[in-house]
Structures are given as C-alpha cells and as structure tokens.
Amino acid sequence: MRILGIETTCDETATAVVELGPEGRGLILSNEVLSQIEDHAAYGGVVPEIAARAHVDVMDQLVRRALQTAGVTLAELDGIAAAAGPGLIGGVMVGLTTAKALALVAGKPFLAVNHLEAHALSPRLTDGIAFPYLLLLASGGHTQLLVVKGVGDYLRLGTTIDDAIGEAFDKVAKMLGLPYPGGPQVERMARSGNPSRFTLPRPLLGRKEPDFSLSGLKTAVRIEAEKIAPLSEDDVCDLCASFQAAIVDTVIDRTRMAFARLSEMPCPVTALVIAGGVAANQALRSGLERLAAYNALPLIAPPPALCTDNGAMIAWAGLERLSLGLTDGLDFAPRARWPLTVKTDHEERAHV
C-alpha cells in the first residue's frame, strides 16, 4: 500500500510518498518540505494570508517532486491523503483541494487526515510500535497527554489550561528578541546558558491531574528579564536555559502523574512517545528518556524532521485509515478546528 500525503495546515508546504514496509513500519519513499519561515519572519509569527498564497505557489512542484523522488506515478498510488485540519483555513484548503483533485483524476481513494492524529500515529511510521502507548503531543497549538489505543481511539489524561508548550517557547523567544519559530532558538541559546541562575516556577508541580499551565511561567520569565534589562547575550542564554529547565521539570512531573493514572487502569502501555514540533527538543527528550526507563519502557521520539510538520506523517495516517477502510468523500470540508475525538479519563471510568 502506497500513499501520497499533503500537509499545508501552517507554514510548511510538505508532500511525501509512504508505503507499508517491513514489520508494520512505514517506508518513506520521498519527503519534501518547503518552509515559509522567511516569508513570515518579519512579522514574528505566521500570517495566514501569506501562508495560503505561498502554499499555492509551490504546491504543484512539491507534488511532482514527491512523486519523482519516490519514482512512482499517480497511477501507482493506492490513495491520496491531505491534512484537512486543524489549522489555518486558507492553507488547509490548498492542500485539501489539491488532494481531492488528484484523487478524482487518478480515480484513487481520498483520505482526509486530522493533523493531530498524524502526529499521534507518527511513532508507528518510524518504529512500528503497537497500541496502546502513552503520548505527549506537544506542538505550537497543542499540549496533551493521551493514551493512543487505536486509530481514532484516544483517551485524554491531561491537557494545557492556557498556553501550549511550543507557544510558550515561541512567546519567550519573542520576548527575548529571538526570531520565530522560537523553540529551536531557545534551545540553541539554552545550550550555553546557566539553568539555575533564575528561580522560575514549576506550575502545577505535584498536582494529581496531569494537566499543564504555562502562562505563569512565561510571565515569570518576563519579570526576570525586565529586572535586568537591557539584556546581554549571556543574560538571554541564562534566561533560555532557566526557562527550558522549568519546562523539562514540569513536563516530567506531569508525565509522571499520567503514569500514576495509568497504573490504576487495565491498560498496559508499550512505550512513552513524544510527538509534535516540541519533540525536537533534546533536553526534553533526555528527561523523558530517564522517566521512560524508570517505568521500564522505551521512549519513542521520531527523528526531528518527522516531529515538526511533514507530509510523511499525513501519508502514514492516510495509510493507517485506508487499511481500516476509512476513506472520505470529496465533499469533506476543511476544518480550522478539529479536536481529536477523545474520551477523558473520567468518561472512560464511567464507561467501564
């Protein structure tokens, strides 16, 4: 089974061809990404109208490149998948309409993929792991601790009550004068900083519910920065290191609480997984690796290029859905908002 995947929900235009490989993993035949970061840099964030137009400009070349690199024709595909949301609606329409048109002319099944589901299933593409697994999904717009029990079957243990983790990185970066997207910049500066120079809060530490709250931490960084302004490069490095250390401690504590929840449930997980753009962060990976080892589980983190938005994860989610016969009609509308259909811990218990 071989699928073309198209991703246009934010500021990356991405296409890929993925086929079902050995041991249930995916084989990535091509994975093309064109980032629009430079188009948006001057604005300090993604401008939806610019994003949508930029996707239109490169869409046809990127589809052609994905097929050429993979060495396949449209006729040799088994299905065509696009992220149908959640995301910036203008961009989503570009990818979705392209995929529908290709599916129509080639007479192939069409698959409307939830971008979050694609992140959630990406460790099965890279590592072929079995359900269920505990997933920390951490991107610019989402922060959730989920048990992934199957395709379309998610149990949510915790979420953020304010900022997403990636959003907190981006806002702290902006406040410190670092370019967008902030996550990789903060991580880079943190490498030469002192993580214990500033005393920052670890929000919700020790709370039983594995939820997140990050806006207070972000404000605490601002207060510390204002106290010592103007900032030298060393100050920025120390603030980044102190902020990142607080995030890592918080994530580990919250994930520890999720494990405590799991121990009360009849649901042994096969792995701890981190996915979404923030999963590219090495400090976070090392912290979670220790926590996973403590729980005698592997930590599965897709390689950085498959953590941030990409077409391979869309193709793979399409492949998983097609294997289950879950195809979509060409009238499938783009969705700016599209939460994963999840059960909460509470609902799951009520159901049992």
Structure tokens at 71: 């060495």
Interaction pattern, residues 89-128, with ligand KG4; x per rule: CB under 6 A? ----------------------------------------
Q: How far is the CB of 196 from Zn ion (least distance, A)?
A: 32
φ/ψ region of 244 (left if φ > 0, alpha if ψ in -120 to 50, else beta) reads alpha
Q: What values do phi and psi take at 152, rounded to 5?
A: 75, 10
Q: Nearest 5 degrees, angle CA 121-CA 126-CA 131?
A: 45
Q: Which residue has the tokens 């990185």?
A: 169
User: Which is closer to Zn ion, CB of 122 or CB of 255?
Assistant: 122
Burial class (CB in 10 A: 0-12, 13-18, 19+), 263: exposed
- Cα separation, 86 vs 80, whole angstroms: 18
Q: Give yes or no for residue 136 binding ligand KG4 (CB under 6 A).
A: no
User: Which is closer to ligand KG4, CB of 21 or CB of 43?
Assistant: 43
Q: Give yes or no for residue 187 binding ligand KG4 (CB under 6 A).
A: yes
Instruction: Determine the size of the site formed for ligand KG4 (CB under 6 A).
Output: 20
Q: Give yes or no for residue 280 binding ligand KG4 (CB under 6 A).
A: yes
Closest CA to 134 of 264, 259, 48: 259
Residue 185 interacts with, from ligand KG4, Zn ion, none (CB under 5-8 Å by kind): none
Q: Give yes or no for residue 143 binding ligand KG4 (CB under 6 A).
A: no
- Cα separation, 238 vs 220, whole angstroms: 14
Q: Give yes or no for residue 302 binding ligand KG4 (CB under 6 A).
A: no
Q: Which of residues 160-179 bind ligand KG4 (CB under 6 A)?
A: 166-167, 169-170
- Cα separation, 319 vs 326, whole angstroms: 10
The only residue of 12, 309, 320, 345 in contact with Zn ion, by rule CB under 5 A = 309
Q: Give yes or no for residue 36 binding Zn ion (CB under 5 A).
A: no
Q: Which of residues 307-326 bind ligand KG4 (CB under 6 A)?
A: 308-309
Q: Give yes or no for residue 278 binding ligand KG4 (CB under 6 A).
A: yes
CA-based end-to-end distance of the chain: 36
Q: Which residues bind Zn ion (CB under 5 A)?
A: 139, 309
Q: Which residues bind ligand KG4 (CB under 6 A)?
A: 10, 139-141, 166-167, 169-170, 181-184, 187, 276-278, 280-281, 308-309
